[in-house]
Structure 1
Amino acid sequence: MKFSKENFIYEFTRNQATNEEIHENILEGMNVHGANFIILICAIIIASVGLNMNSTAVIIGAMLISPLMGSIIGIGYGVGTYNLKLLKEAFKILTISVFISIITSTFYFSITPITTAGSEILARTSPTIWDVIIAFVGGIAGMVGLTRNKISNVIPGVAIATALMPPLCTAGYGLATKNYHIFLGAGYLFFINCFFIITSTFIVTKALNLPARTNLDDEKQHKVKRIILITAVIVMIPSVFSALNMIQETIDESNLDAFINTELKDQYVIEKNINTKNNTITLALIGEKISRNEFKILENNLHNYGFKDMDLIIKQDEGSISDIEKYISDIKNQSNIFIKDNNVSNKTGDIKEDTNVQEISKEIKVIYPQIKEVYLGYVTSDTNSSKEVPVLILYTNDETLSKSIPTIENWFKARTKEDGVKVYVQMISTEKETKTDNEYKK
């Protein structure tokens, strides 16, 4: 079929419902009175449980039954048709729905015994430009689906893709646990989703030439469009910076790993840190001592890995490397080595699929900010040689963290879904944090 503007318009509008049918579909979707409010509360509780237990399937189920999408599309449709009465009603319904959702999720997270932030919760605290794209494209799909003469299953799919429910539950978690940075991050994600679904709904409404319910002159119509455009740009700016930072962090980590694997083959790196504020890269090494001449070569070679303006700092200790130190180093780099009675065995295999090292590390550091390093792996059980037990090793300079070991063990059990876990807290010596003859820097 030959592509042309006329063919596109024909295909876009050929199965379009009548204007009155579209209007009724929008009103029906906005109906969140009576029983639908009970459905909303149930959906919030289900989503909160899913976030609490790190269950993606449960979260998706909650998004499927959530009635939040209707009022958001109603706002976009109201702006597009200049229907002030419908706009006010849709905004009122959305406000009430958001209020009920946050209150319900806050109540749930206030009474649940599991108060740690899982990966599903943390994933809703740092919106990026990709969330903007998903919300915008999802809003277009949702509005196009609502304007067909046969209603499809687009709306549930859009609700899942744009994930309106989880950010509200995460905001409730932030309030319940007094983690206000989580509350603000989740609130910003929900606002992004709402705003860009509204924006895309407005665009589709205009593209379909749906009739205005209130006559406005051209100047006022252009003013509305300018306000939407300016607001969209302002709303997107933080998400763009967040996405750029995330991309840069990923690139830096990859480049540093390449540097370590290529230039430090004979060393064990037990700690690595990229500090963009001070423009420094710190590596803690165990192994053969690096001379000053070798250090200068390393520093020059570092610039070949994308770190032209970064200074290299190396902290090193002489002496042999114990098996436990090798084990910790390998765990941090997510290798496939297990230990048995403090001896590295030859057994290899993947860290269990449902145990994500990076997620666990991120979560425990959010809960206990005094933790500096996290190492995770498996050891052979003392009572059953065929069973492997998850081990968590935490490095900190806060002596009080040891008092929290029972609480951390309960969290680690829930997180790995295994019994018999072991948690160790290791103190970071203040001597290691001071500059010695074995620390080189530019």
Structure 2
Amino acid sequence: MATPMEWLLVGSHVSLDQLDAAKESTYVDVSSHTKSYSAYAWRLALSAVIATGGIASQSPAVVIGAMLIAPLMSPMVGTQLAIVLGNKRAVWRTILMTWLGVIGAIAISLVIAAMLPVKIDTTTNTEVLARVSPRLVDLIVALASGLMGALAEIREDIPDTITGVAIAASLVPPLCVVGISLYAQDWRSAAGSMLLFLANYCAIEFMGMLVFIALHLDKHFPQQKGLGTRKWRYIFVIACVAVVAMPLTFTSLNIAQSSIKSGQVKEVATQWVQNTNWSVQEVKVQDDVATVYIDGADTTLDDSKFLAMLNDAHISLKGAKVVIIPEFSIGPSGQYANPSPATTQQ
């Protein structure tokens, strides 16, 4: 008879056939080692190549294509299932497969980045920038993804492809950004994207394990190491989530503060260029240094007025600079002129 939690999560009693199918698809049980491992390796390698190409070309559609074939979710769910069932050998197998995949994706993306004729600029590439500043909301998304991944493996009425769409976006692309950033020697971006992956990894493992515990799947399989050993594994995973949540919270607060300051600086800059031919295009605040991008046709700027206005607004900044976006005018003679960049330091 199904428990209330089984009815809530699965809609019925979890059968041994469902459990066996989940174990087979998540590498807890491997019937054909060569076939299973070769398929995993090919999917991983090709998804990394495609994701790196999509990031290099700044094409979300190509990155999505890589998400659809990325295989990392399967061994990750397998780790959750093996821990709950007490299958120590499967625990180590799935962990090894996951982290070999992680190393492989990073290495492949690094090699592809080195082979490209044009270097990927990690400071301007939109696909890179989207994955180097992990936030607390990313952890929340990963928790929901872990729930989806566990349910997709244990329920027959939820297609496995949903797992790939919901999860791989948070796994393979950040790893490819790590490889690209390492090649570009952008250590900050590499660390940020790796933190994003680790946050997703820990959150997915934690949430999926809670689902399998709630379903009492261990009653279908003899305990091999006893509840005490598994309890420490649960504590370890919970600790991982807590540890990763702290830097994500810090990063989220920094992003929120930078966003507020960007709005304040933009308001001041807009007032500064009012009644002139200059216009404010963009304002960025990073590490308490504001960068204001403007364009226009005037030849002079009153830098001291801008600094005075910033001080009067009581915006806490370490520095500020104004970058003029070049505009070229080509005449009949072929001559051109462009305004020289101006920089203002506070």
User: In 2, distance between residues paired with 1:229 and 1:23?
Assistant: 27
Check if 1:22 corresponds to 2:19: yes
User: In 2, distance between residues paired with 1:174 and 1:299?
Assistant: 37
Check conservation: 1:168, 1:186, Cα contact below 8 A: yes
1:240 maps to which of 249, 254, 257: 249
1:224 shift after superposition: 3.3
Check conservation: 2:181, 2:187, Cα contact below 8 A: yes
Q: Deviations over 1:366-419 (max 9, x none)?
A: xxxxxx655447767768xxxxxxxxxxxxxxxxxxxxxxxxxxxxxxxxxxxx
> CA RMSD for the aligned pairs?
4.0
Check if 1:126 corresponds to 2:141: no
Distance verdict in 2 for CA 1:120–1:424, change over 3 Å:
farther
1:11 shift after superposition: 3.9
Q: Deviations over 1:9-55 (max 9, x none)?
A: 53433245424422432432337511331222111111110000000
User: In 1, distance between residues paired with 2:337 and 2:96?
Assistant: 49
1:96 alignment partner AA: L
Check if 1:50 corresponds to 2:54: yes
User: In 1, distance between residues paired with 2:42 and 2:7?
Assistant: 41
Structure of greater Rg: 1
What is aligned with 2:74?
Answer: 70
1:427 shift after superposition: 6.0
Check conservation: 2:288, 2:317, Cα contact below 8 A: no
Check conservation: 2:18, 2:155, Cα contact below 8 A: no
User: In 1, distance between residues paired with 2:189 and 2:39?
Assistant: 31
The alignment of Structure 1 onto Structure 2 pairs a total of residues equal to 321
User: In 1, distance between residues paired with 2:190 and 2:287?
Assistant: 26
Check if 1:286 corresponds to 2:301: yes
User: In 1, distance between residues paired with 2:284 and 2:105?
Assistant: 39
Check conservation: 1:16, 1:147, Cα contact below 8 A: no
What is aligned with 1:229?
Answer: 238
User: In 1, distance between residues paired with 2:190 and 2:285?
Assistant: 27
What is aligned with 1:154?
Answer: 162
What is aligned with 1:214?
Answer: 223
What is aligned with 1:108?
Answer: 112
1:142 shift after superposition: 1.2
1:135 shift after superposition: 0.9
What is aligned with 1:255?
Answer: 264
2:85 maps to which of 81, 93, 98: 81
1:18 alignment partner AA: S
Check if 1:41 corresponds to 2:52: no
Q: What SS does the corresponding residue of 2:58 show, helix, strand or coil?
A: coil
Distance verdict in 2 for CA 1:375–1:52, change over 3 Å:
farther
1:168 shift after superposition: 1.3
1:176 alignment partner AA: Y
- Stretch deviating more after TM superposition (49-58 or 231-240): 231-240
1:12 maps to which of 9, 12, 35: 9
More strand by share: 1
Distance verdict in 2 for CA 1:9–1:47, change over 3 Å:
same
Check conservation: 1:282, 1:312, Cα contact below 8 A: no
- Structure 2: give runs of 5+ residues left out of the alignment: 31-35, 295-299
Task: Map 1:420-439 to 2 at 5 A.
Answer: 426=340
User: In 2, distance between residues paired with 1:108 and 1:23?
Assistant: 38
Give the alignment's TM-score, normalised by structure 2: 0.77
User: In 2, distance between residues paired with 1:273 and 1:158?
Assistant: 31
Identity of aligned residues (%): 20
Distance verdict in 2 for CA 1:182–1:264, change over 3 Å:
closer
What is aligned with 1:366?
Answer: none
Check if 1:99 corresponds to 2:103: yes
2:172 alignment partner AA: M
Distance verdict in 2 for CA 1:272–1:199, change over 3 Å:
closer
Check if 1:141 corresponds to 2:148: yes
Give the alignment's TM-score, normalised by structure 1: 0.62
Q: What SS does the corresponding residue of 1:33 show, helix, strand or coil?
A: helix
- Stretch deviating more after TM superposition (144-153 or 106-115): 144-153
User: In 2, distance between residues paired with 1:427 and 1:263?
Assistant: 17
User: In 1, distance between residues paired with 2:303 and 2:102?
Assistant: 59
More helix by share: 2
User: In 2, distance between residues paired with 1:109 and 1:79?
Assistant: 37
Q: Deviations over 1:291-348 (max 9, x none)?
A: xxxx6x9855x25xxx4xx48999xxxxxxxxxxxxxxxxxxxxxxxxxxxxxxxxxx
Check if 1:168 corresponds to 2:175: yes
Check conservation: 2:6, 2:12, Cα contact below 8 A: no
What is aligned with 1:192?
Answer: 199
1:287 shift after superposition: 5.3
User: In 1, distance between residues paired with 2:233 and 2:12?
Assistant: 29
Q: What SS does the corresponding residue of 1:201 show, helix, strand or coil?
A: helix
Q: What SS does the corresponding residue of 2:223 show, helix, strand or coil?
A: coil
Q: What SS does the corresponding residue of 1:178 show, helix, strand or coil?
A: coil
Distance verdict in 2 for CA 1:257–1:9, change over 3 Å:
same
